[in-house]
Amino acid sequence: MQQNYSRIIGIGSYLPPKVVTNDDLAKFVDTSDEWISSRTGISQRHFVETEKCSDLAYEAAKNALLSADFSAEKLDAIIVATTTADKVFPSVACNVQYRIGARGCCSFDVQAVCAGFMYALGIADSMIKAGQYKNVLVIGSETMSKLMDWEDRSTCVLFGDGAGAMLLTADNQPGIISTTLHADGKHEELLHAPIISPRNNDTVGYLKMEGNKIFKIAVNNMGKIIDETLTNANMSYQELDWLIPHQANTRIIQSIAKKLKMPMEQVIVTIAKHANTSAASVPLAFDSAVRNGKIKKGDNCIMVAFGGGLTWGSCLVKY
Ligand code: ACO
């Protein structure tokens, strides 16, 4: 039988144990719980202490494999979406591959910042649809706390660390129905993190963002790409059970839901506890909704994310 779809058969996530509340941040940043929660919806975030990006990815990978009772030896590929890899090389994916015991399988990282997981899912889906790969593990893992400038209160309060993973397999039933990916390099200065160079002391690696300009572009582009993904799939908003958006700001999420005419009860919102975990944000939210019984097998789910690049992507899936 022809296997033209990628189906999600496993899902897992991992958050480093250290929780940092808004009040904790206000001890060393000129901010308040009131400002952060009312402007963004964030109450707390998890931060790594000694863990690296690959440690979070490894834990999420193990949980996804466990959820499907699936042996790592059967994996054909591992794709990790990250913008905070441990090293310039080797990739986080190669580190995870070795540690979970998936020796030999194709492994690489994808860098599309907050939209990275959408990119990684799109690539995995194409690899499976092309018929060359059967079982692909897709991970989003980030240690965004390492990119924070604690003097920049408008940005450093927004991010957190974590990882989420999905295990895809070839099947004759969907699965991933449609994926749409876009980028526009024109707005580099609105959202970027320069490279840390040991030879150039005046270059710092902190994330810089013009939040209010990004806000408007994010709402607009995420609304449009959902339309595009649904049109490509010949589906309407009414057929959706869940919206799983990038967790950057509650007000952005509410604006997208309003555009879709989707009640907030059908929108997965985890920003209060996770903050913005970049490429890990959507799989973390998806996994928590599966675990607390909201998203069930057979539900139509639309994922959407937006981030530095600028990049944005959307993926429609029957879970
Ligand atoms: N605590 C207290 N006051 C603050 C803080 C803070 N942490 N940060 C900013 N302020 C102040 C500002 O100084 C300003 O004061 P002023 O009016 O006296 O000058 C005031 O609050 C308003 O600042 P704005 O930046 O206009 O606040 P805004 O309502 O736009 O919210 C925010 C800022 C939360 C960043 C919002 O614009 C946002 O969420 N943007 C989108 C983020 C996003 O989606 N990014 C994409 C993904 S991220 C990635 O790809 C890595």
Q: Is the pLDDT of residue 202 over 70?
A: no
Lowest mean pLDDT across 46-55, 155-164, 200-209: 200-209
DSSP 84: S
Q: What pLDDT score does 4 carry?
A: 85
User: 193 alpha carbon to ligand 1 midpoint, in Å?
Assistant: 17
Q: How far apart are the C-alpha atoms of 96 and 107, rounded to whole Å?
A: 9
CB 233 within 8 A of CB 316: yes
**Which residue's structure tokens are 């899902």?**
11
* Range 51-79 average pLDDT: 98
Any atom of ligand 1 within 6 Å of the Cβ of 255: no
Torsion on CA atoms 272, 221, 183, 137, rounded to nearest 10: 50
121-166: per-residue pLDDT in tens?
Answer: 999 999 999 999 999 999 999 999 999 999 999 999 999 999 999 9
Q: What is the per-residue pLDDT for 260?
A: 87
Instruction: Give the confidence band of 200 by pLDDT, cuts at 50, 70, 90.
Output: low
Peptide bond into 211 cis (omega under 30): no
Residue of 105, 156, 246, 274 marked catalytic: 246
Q: Which helix (H) or strand (E) holds 15?
A: none
- The answer to whether 5-172 and 177-318 have equal CATH topology is yes
Look at ligand 1, atom 35, and give the residue with the nearest C-alpha.
211
Residue 199 has pLDDT above 80, yes or no: no
Taking the centre of ligand 1 as the mean of its atom positions, its distance from the CA of residue 150, in whole angstroms, is 14
* Single pTM value for the model: 0.96
Q: Is 183 a residue whose pLDDT tops 70? A: yes
Cβ(84) – ligand 1 distance below 6 Å: no
CATH number for the domain formed by residue range(s) 177-318:
3.40.47.10
The verdict on whether 276 is a catalytic residue reads yes
Domain spans in the chain, listed from the N-terminal domain onward: 5-172, 177-318
Quote the radius of gyration of the chain (alpha carbons, Å): 18
The CB of 306 under 6 Å from ligand 1? The reply is yes
Mean pLDDT over residues 95-99, rounded?
98
Domain boundaries 5-172, CATH class:
alpha beta
